[in-house]
Amino acid sequence: MHRNDLKSKLEKYQPTDQTEIADKSKMLIFLEANENCFERSLTIGHFTGSCWLENYDGTKFLLTLHKKIGLWLQLGGHADGNSDIVQVAMKEAHEESGLKNIEIKSADIFDLSVHLVNEYKNIPAHYHYDVRFLLKASDPNEHIAISEESTDLRWFSEPPISRDFYGCELWRMYDKWKETKK
Protein backbone atom coordinates (compact mmCIF):
# COMPACT_ATOMS: atom_id res chain seq x y z
CA MET A 1 0.00 0.00 0.00
CA HIS A 2 1.43 3.38 -1.05
CA ARG A 3 0.59 4.98 2.31
CA ASN A 4 2.40 2.49 4.55
CA ASP A 5 5.78 4.26 4.58
CA LEU A 6 4.26 7.54 5.75
CA LYS A 7 2.05 5.73 8.25
CA SER A 8 5.12 4.03 9.70
CA LYS A 9 7.04 7.32 9.91
CA LEU A 10 4.08 9.05 11.59
CA GLU A 11 3.61 6.25 14.11
CA LYS A 12 7.32 6.38 14.98
CA TYR A 13 7.43 10.18 15.28
CA GLN A 14 7.52 11.68 18.79
CA PRO A 15 5.85 15.12 18.82
CA THR A 16 7.44 17.84 20.94
CA ASP A 17 4.37 19.86 21.92
CA GLN A 18 0.57 19.66 22.22
CA THR A 19 0.02 21.12 18.76
CA GLU A 20 2.16 18.44 17.16
CA ILE A 21 0.45 15.72 19.20
CA ALA A 22 -2.92 16.85 17.83
CA ASP A 23 -1.56 17.27 14.29
CA LYS A 24 0.01 13.80 14.30
CA SER A 25 -3.36 12.32 15.25
CA LYS A 26 -5.12 14.33 12.51
CA MET A 27 -2.56 13.12 9.96
CA LEU A 28 -2.98 9.47 10.84
CA ILE A 29 -6.78 9.75 10.61
CA PHE A 30 -6.58 11.67 7.32
CA LEU A 31 -4.08 9.18 5.86
CA GLU A 32 -6.31 6.24 6.74
CA ALA A 33 -9.52 7.87 5.48
CA ASN A 34 -8.29 9.18 2.11
CA GLU A 35 -6.60 6.89 -0.37
CA ASN A 36 -5.85 9.87 -2.64
CA CYS A 37 -4.36 11.94 0.21
CA PHE A 38 -1.24 12.77 -1.84
CA GLU A 39 -3.25 14.34 -4.67
CA ARG A 40 -3.85 18.06 -4.93
CA SER A 41 -7.22 17.17 -6.45
CA LEU A 42 -8.44 16.10 -3.00
CA THR A 43 -9.95 19.49 -2.31
CA ILE A 44 -10.48 19.07 1.45
CA GLY A 45 -6.73 18.74 1.90
CA HIS A 46 -3.62 16.78 0.97
CA PHE A 47 -0.15 15.89 2.18
CA THR A 48 2.73 18.22 1.46
CA GLY A 49 6.44 17.73 2.05
CA SER A 50 8.82 20.38 3.29
CA CYS A 51 12.22 20.73 4.89
CA TRP A 52 14.45 22.50 7.31
CA LEU A 53 17.43 23.01 5.03
CA GLU A 54 20.72 23.77 6.73
CA ASN A 55 23.81 25.10 5.02
CA TYR A 56 26.90 22.98 4.33
CA ASP A 57 28.49 23.59 7.75
CA GLY A 58 25.25 23.44 9.74
CA THR A 59 25.41 27.02 10.99
CA LYS A 60 22.43 28.52 9.11
CA PHE A 61 19.11 27.49 7.59
CA LEU A 62 17.28 28.58 4.47
CA LEU A 63 13.87 30.28 4.45
CA THR A 64 11.79 31.60 1.60
CA LEU A 65 9.63 34.70 1.64
CA HIS A 66 6.58 33.07 0.08
CA LYS A 67 5.09 35.15 -2.73
CA LYS A 68 1.41 34.22 -2.16
CA ILE A 69 1.46 34.26 1.63
CA GLY A 70 4.01 37.00 2.28
CA LEU A 71 5.63 35.14 5.20
CA TRP A 72 9.04 33.59 5.78
CA LEU A 73 8.61 29.81 5.56
CA GLN A 74 10.59 26.62 5.20
CA LEU A 75 10.88 25.22 1.65
CA GLY A 76 8.19 22.78 0.59
CA GLY A 77 5.18 21.98 -1.51
CA HIS A 78 2.59 19.58 -2.86
CA ALA A 79 3.15 15.84 -3.15
CA ASP A 80 1.24 15.72 -6.46
CA GLY A 81 0.67 11.98 -6.16
CA ASN A 82 4.10 11.06 -4.76
CA SER A 83 3.67 9.09 -1.53
CA ASP A 84 7.41 9.30 -0.76
CA ILE A 85 7.18 12.50 1.26
CA VAL A 86 10.94 12.64 1.90
CA GLN A 87 11.47 12.79 -1.86
CA VAL A 88 8.75 15.45 -2.14
CA ALA A 89 10.65 17.57 0.40
CA MET A 90 13.89 16.99 -1.51
CA LYS A 91 12.32 17.93 -4.86
CA GLU A 92 10.85 21.11 -3.38
CA ALA A 93 14.19 22.00 -1.77
CA HIS A 94 15.93 21.74 -5.15
CA GLU A 95 13.22 23.70 -6.98
CA GLU A 96 12.83 26.48 -4.42
CA SER A 97 16.51 26.97 -3.56
CA GLY A 98 18.19 26.45 -6.91
CA LEU A 99 20.69 24.16 -5.15
CA LYS A 100 21.67 20.91 -6.85
CA ASN A 101 23.67 19.38 -3.99
CA ILE A 102 21.30 18.59 -1.13
CA GLU A 103 21.40 15.54 1.09
CA ILE A 104 18.91 14.01 3.48
CA LYS A 105 20.24 14.30 7.03
CA SER A 106 17.47 11.99 8.27
CA ALA A 107 14.55 10.18 6.64
CA ASP A 108 12.74 10.41 9.98
CA ILE A 109 10.16 13.15 10.41
CA PHE A 110 11.69 16.36 11.77
CA ASP A 111 8.46 18.31 12.33
CA LEU A 112 4.85 18.32 11.19
CA SER A 113 1.89 20.65 10.92
CA VAL A 114 -1.72 20.65 9.81
CA HIS A 115 -2.77 24.11 8.69
CA LEU A 116 -5.58 25.72 6.77
CA VAL A 117 -4.75 27.32 3.44
CA ASN A 118 -7.13 30.15 2.55
CA GLU A 119 -9.06 30.24 -0.71
CA TYR A 120 -6.87 31.50 -3.56
CA LYS A 121 -7.77 32.08 -7.22
CA ASN A 122 -10.83 29.77 -7.23
CA ILE A 123 -9.05 27.06 -5.23
CA PRO A 124 -11.22 26.50 -2.16
CA ALA A 125 -9.79 26.71 1.35
CA HIS A 126 -8.25 23.37 2.31
CA TYR A 127 -5.77 21.78 4.71
CA HIS A 128 -2.12 21.02 4.17
CA TYR A 129 -0.87 18.02 6.10
CA ASP A 130 2.76 19.10 6.04
CA VAL A 131 5.49 16.59 6.91
CA ARG A 132 8.95 18.09 7.34
CA PHE A 133 12.43 16.61 7.10
CA LEU A 134 15.94 17.76 7.94
CA LEU A 135 18.07 18.30 4.83
CA LYS A 136 21.53 19.73 4.24
CA ALA A 137 23.10 21.73 1.43
CA SER A 138 26.34 19.87 0.80
CA ASP A 139 28.37 22.16 -1.49
CA PRO A 140 29.86 25.31 0.10
CA ASN A 141 30.45 26.85 -3.35
CA GLU A 142 26.90 26.55 -4.60
CA HIS A 143 24.64 29.62 -4.55
CA ILE A 144 20.92 29.87 -3.90
CA ALA A 145 18.52 31.23 -6.52
CA ILE A 146 15.08 32.68 -5.86
CA SER A 147 12.29 30.68 -7.51
CA GLU A 148 9.12 32.13 -9.03
CA GLU A 149 7.26 31.12 -5.84
CA SER A 150 9.33 33.47 -3.69
CA THR A 151 10.06 37.15 -3.36
CA ASP A 152 13.19 36.50 -1.30
CA LEU A 153 15.37 33.61 -0.16
CA ARG A 154 17.96 33.85 2.63
CA TRP A 155 20.15 31.92 5.00
CA PHE A 156 19.38 32.71 8.64
CA SER A 157 21.03 31.89 11.94
CA GLU A 158 17.79 32.61 13.83
CA PRO A 159 14.15 32.96 12.65
CA PRO A 160 13.47 36.49 11.35
CA ILE A 161 10.31 36.93 13.44
CA SER A 162 9.50 37.13 17.13
CA ARG A 163 8.59 33.94 19.01
CA ASP A 164 5.05 35.18 19.67
CA PHE A 165 4.20 36.02 16.05
CA TYR A 166 2.98 33.57 13.37
CA GLY A 167 6.32 31.87 13.48
CA CYS A 168 5.86 29.61 16.47
CA GLU A 169 6.38 26.67 14.08
CA LEU A 170 9.56 28.25 12.74
CA TRP A 171 10.82 28.66 16.28
CA ARG A 172 9.82 25.08 17.15
CA MET A 173 11.81 23.82 14.15
CA TYR A 174 14.70 26.13 15.04
CA ASP A 175 14.75 24.79 18.61
CA LYS A 176 14.72 21.19 17.34
CA TRP A 177 17.51 22.00 14.89
CA LYS A 178 19.63 23.56 17.65
CA GLU A 179 19.12 20.36 19.68
CA THR A 180 20.67 18.36 16.81
CA LYS A 181 23.85 20.43 17.26
CA LYS A 182 24.40 19.33 20.85
Contact call for residues 10 and 31 (beta carbons, < 8 A): yes
Q: What residues contact 114, with CB distance under 8 A and at least 6 apart?
A: 22, 23, 26, 27, 30, 127, 128, 129, 130
Name the pTM for this structure.
0.95
Q: pLDDT digit of tens for each residue in the chain (182 aa)?
A: 489 999 999 999 999 999 999 999 999 999 999 999 999 999 999 999 999 999 999 999 999 999 988 889 999 999 999 999 999 999 999 999 999 999 999 999 999 999 999 988 888 999 999 999 999 999 999 999 999 999 999 999 999 888 877 658 999 999 999 999 88
What ranges do the domains of the chain cover?
A: 4-180
Residue (of 176, 182, 165) closest to 61 by Cα position: 176
Strand, helix or coil for residue 133: strand
- Positions of E strands within the chain: 45-54, 61-66, 72-73, 75-78, 102-104, 111-117, 126-137, 150-156
| Pairing state between β 150-156 and 61-66 | antiparallel
Out of 3.30.1300.10, 3.90.79.10, 2.40.50.100, 3.60.21.10, the CATH code matching 4-180 is 3.90.79.10
